[in-house]
Amino acid sequence: MSFFLNQVVIGIQLGSQYVMVALGLTLIFGILDISHFAHGHLYMVGAYLLYIVMVLWDVNYWLALLICMVALALAGILVERAVYRPLRGQPQINTFIAAIGLILMLETLVRGIQPKALSVPKPIDRTLEFAGVSMEVQRLIVIIGAILFIVALQLFIKRTRLGTAIEAVAQDREGASLVGINVNRISALTFAVATALAAAAAVLMAPLAFISPEMGGVLILKAFVIVVIGGLGSIKGAIFGGYILGLLEALAIAYVSSAYKDVFAFAVLIAILAVRPTGLFKGRD
Amino acid sequence: MGKSGRYVKASALLILLGIAAALPWLLGKYQVRILTLAMAWTIATLSLNLILGYTGQASLAHGAFLGIGAYAFGIMVQRVGLNFWISLPLACVVTALLGLLVGLPSLRTKGPYFAIVTLCFNVIILKVFENWNWLSGGIQGQVVPRPAFLTQRWARYYFVLAFLLLTLVAMRLIVKSLLGVTLMSIRSNEDLAEAVGINSFRNKLLAFVISCFVVGLAGALLALENGQLDFTITNYLYSFYLLIYLLIGGVATLSGPVVGTIGLYFLLDYMKNIGIKGVEEFRYFLFGLILLLVIIFFPMGITGGVKRAWEWARGRFRKGEAGEVAG
């Protein structure tokens, strides 16, 4: 039983990571109609930035979290401005291909500078015991941190003027620009928020696993799976989908096979799309 | 195009063929090998061109199918002990059949969804080959023995060249046929194609299966030239590379994939061996950057750019020549 509970905790923690990445992706995909395939690689850059700031510059973990989020938010704005904005109005597949170019650039750059996998120390290196479940404090930090960020994002979108503007653009781009919303600024803002969220996920997760240049590839595919299943642009769908995928994966690793842990999500996606080519839930489309 | 234009084109093609035939005597051993590999990759790019360029469906599973063709061929020749001339077409048929199985569910999706689903499939295949040692031969990999008449380097060069020409002719026939026009109508407007009575799903599936057959051939030829395989041949990065060769060369043309693949393959090989520190590690950075610039500034690739420049130049020339006739 305690083994099962342990796997559930790991599943929730995996799910937290997936939710944070998938939320950014669903915002960009659903709101701006951009298949931002390089999102996972910006996550990877966030993890490496944490290594630089925390290990090389010896900055406190929590301050490093803030630095990474701000830096990656700026990187997100740059990507939107330099890569995706010139491609607006072109077939969607072109943005997808541009993202692949970006992926190759980021991955080669990082691997060229630092080919080895790195590890980041845990800010609080302790393990808690509770009812037969042992839990590293960092896992708890990931789980709680993710919840805080998800709630903050919800409040931002529902309660602030800028957040409402994002929703307006999502519902009707032309209508939004007619009532005076600067669509370009909202695009940049969406990218900033989404990329900062990915950076936060990377910083939370980094102490639990090695960081490597290819870590973003499989992650973004899983995020796509979540977004497609949960419905494009649906924040709720991304949250549920992310946690469910994390739990399924943790249980599959324990009870089926760990060698094939990365393929479950994709097999599920292919099966679902074979039956319903537009995804499980009706998103904005 | 006028009669004289056709003669110019035909003689240019003949000259190119002559050069291709003479190259094994002009180049060093290493270059012949690289060119042979580049031609096998060109066949793969041509296969992607059919489904992406002409049909508009961005398959990112072609890396997997390339590896499946290569392994099917290697296993049949070495482990089953089948005749070479039976193994080669059979490897293509196996790849095409798998293509049918993958195409049936995935082609129901559209646009980026299709790209994502096929990419997911490629990751699954990579993981299967990575973990299933019986299939992939584990760390030792799979040896691919060569038949007696292909032990010479130049013989393999001509062998692959012959298949490249065959593929080009086949692609031209497909593109000019009713099927080709049908596929292009699906690419430009699927709903409209459906409205005029085209079964778009069936035609897309047909294009996908043919494309898989051809990429299986490319995989088998790569296996033949390398003589050795391991699971990395199914890597999805190859799907990306094929996409880049195709886009930089020029989509929906027949010369584009040839120019793009051979040009970039040689460029990358040159950068690998240049010996300057940093160039080797960062060469795919440049690759990505070129891809970005091409997709933003020249979505039609090199051949599209050349074509546009040529038309522009000809337009200027004509204007100067006879203003009142052309109008």
Q: Which fold has domain B29-318?
A: ABC transporter involved in vitamin B12 uptake, BtuC (1.10.3470)
What is the pLDDT at residue A263? 81
- How many CB atoms are closer than 10 A to CB B195? 9
Q: With an 8 Å Cβ cutoff, are B295 and A102 in contact?
A: no
- Distance, CA of B237 to CA of B247 (rounded, Å): 15
Report the pLDDT value the prediction gives residue B165, as an integer from 0 to 100: 94
Q: Is B277 left (phi over 0), alpha (psi -120 to 50) or beta?
A: beta
- Taking the C-alpha atoms of residue A273 and residue B105, their distance in angstroms, rounded to an integer, is 7
Rounded Cα–Cα distance for residues A195 and A230 (Å): 20
Pick the residue from chain B with its C-alpha nearest to A218: B123
Q: Which residues of chain B, if any, have pLDDT below 70?
A: 1-3, 318-327
Q: What is the mean pLDDT of residues A190-197?
A: 94
Look-up: residue for tokens 């936060």? A200
Closest CA of chain B from A147, distance in Å: 28
- Cα separation, A164 vs A177, in Å, equals 13
State percent of chain A over pLDDT 90: 35
Judged by a CB distance cut-off of 8 A, whether residue A266 touches chain B is yes
**Per-residue b or e along B245-264, where b marks 16 or more CB atoms closer than 10 Å to that residue's CB:** bbbbbbbbbbebbbbbbbeb
The torsion defined by the Cα of B53, B55, B56 and B57, in degrees rounded to 10, comes to: -110
Q: In the beta sheet, which residues pair with residue B263? A: none
If residue B129 lies in a helix (H) or strand (E), which one and from where to where? Answer: helix B111-131
- B240 contacts in chain A (CB < 8 Å): 100, 103-104
Angle CA B33–B35–B40, to nearest 5? 100
Cα–Cα distance between B80 and B74 in angstroms, integer?
9
What pLDDT is stored for residue B325 in this prediction?
40
Q: Please list every residue in chain A whose beta carbon sits closer than 8 Å to the beta carbon of residue B104.
A: 274
What region does B27 belong to: left with phi over 0, alpha with psi -120 to 50, or beta? beta
**AA identity, residue A258:** S
Domain boundaries, chain B: 29-318
Residue of A93, A219, A228 best to disrupt the B interface, most CBs of B under 10 A: A93
**Of A227 and B98, more confident:** B98
The answer to whether the predicted template modeling score (pTM) of the entire model surpasses 0.90 is: no
Taking a C-beta distance cutoff of 8 angstroms, is the pair A219, A226 a contact? no
Tell me the shortest Cα–Cα distance from A163 to chain B, in angstroms.
27
The whole-number pLDDT of residue B320 equals 57
Check if the beta carbon of residue B279 is closer than 8 Å to that of residue B322: no
Distance separating the N- and C-terminal Cα atoms of chain A: 43
B47 CB neighbour count, 10 Å cutoff: 33
Q: For the segment A157-182, what is each residue's pLDDT rounded down to a tens digit?
A: 889 998 888 888 877 888 888 888 88
> Is-contact B297 B77, C-beta < 8 A?
no
Min distance A94 CA to chain B CA atoms (Å): 7
Q: What is the distance in angstroms between the Cα of A236 and the nearest Cα belonging to chain B?
A: 20
Contact status of A277 with chain B (Cβ, < 8 Å): yes
pLDDT at A119: 85
CA distances from A96 to A33, B4, B51, B197, B288 (A): 11, 42, 16, 30, 13
What pLDDT does A116 receive?
Answer: 83
The answer to whether A99 contacts chain B (CB < 8 Å) is no
Confidence of residue A278 (pLDDT cuts 50, 70, 90): low
The pLDDT, as a whole number, for residue B3 is 67
Name the residue ranges covered by the structural domains of chain A: 19-213
Contact A274 B104 (CB under 8 A): yes
Q: What is the mean pLDDT of chain A?
A: 87
d(CA B235, CA B122): 7
What ipTM was reported for this prediction?
Answer: 0.82
**Residue B187 CB-half CA count within 13 A:** 21
- The pLDDT of A206-234, averaged and rounded, is 86
In this predicted model, what pLDDT tens digit does every residue of B240-254 receive, in sequence order?
899 889 988 888 888
Contact criterion met (CB below 8 Å) for A96 and B112: yes
A5 touches chain B (CB under 8 A): no
Write down how long chain B is: 327
Closest approach of chain B CAs to the CA of A254, in angstroms? 17
A221-B287-B165 Cα angle (round to 5): 95
**pLDDT reported for residue B76:** 93
Q: Do A263 and B110 touch (CB under 8 A)?
A: no
pLDDT, position B323: 44
Give the model confidence (pLDDT) of A19-49 as tens digits: 999 999 988 987 778 888 899 999 999 999 9
Strand-pairing partners, residue A127, are A136
**A111–B contact, CB cutoff 8 A:** yes
